[in-house]
Amino acid sequence: MPPARDALCRYGAEWAATKLRWGLAVDEAEQGRLLDIAAGCGGTDVEFTPAL
């Protein structure tokens, strides 16, 4: 995990976007970590294009 807050927010957004893009499952532990990251990243948008 990146130590800088801005980098952590970007990492979390890109992590979520990759999961969404490819329709990948998220286990309970991963979901909890993503929610923890997102809680400290107000205003960070997750943008993705679904894979065809």
| pLDDT (tens digit per residue) in 1-52 | 778 877 999 999 999 999 999 999 999 999 999 999 999 888 888 999 999 8
Name the helix (H) or strand (E) containing 9. helix 5-22
The pTM of this model reads 0.81
Please report the pLDDT score of residue 39 as a whole number. Answer: 92
CB neighbours of 34 closer than 8 A, spacing ≥ 6? 12, 15, 16, 26
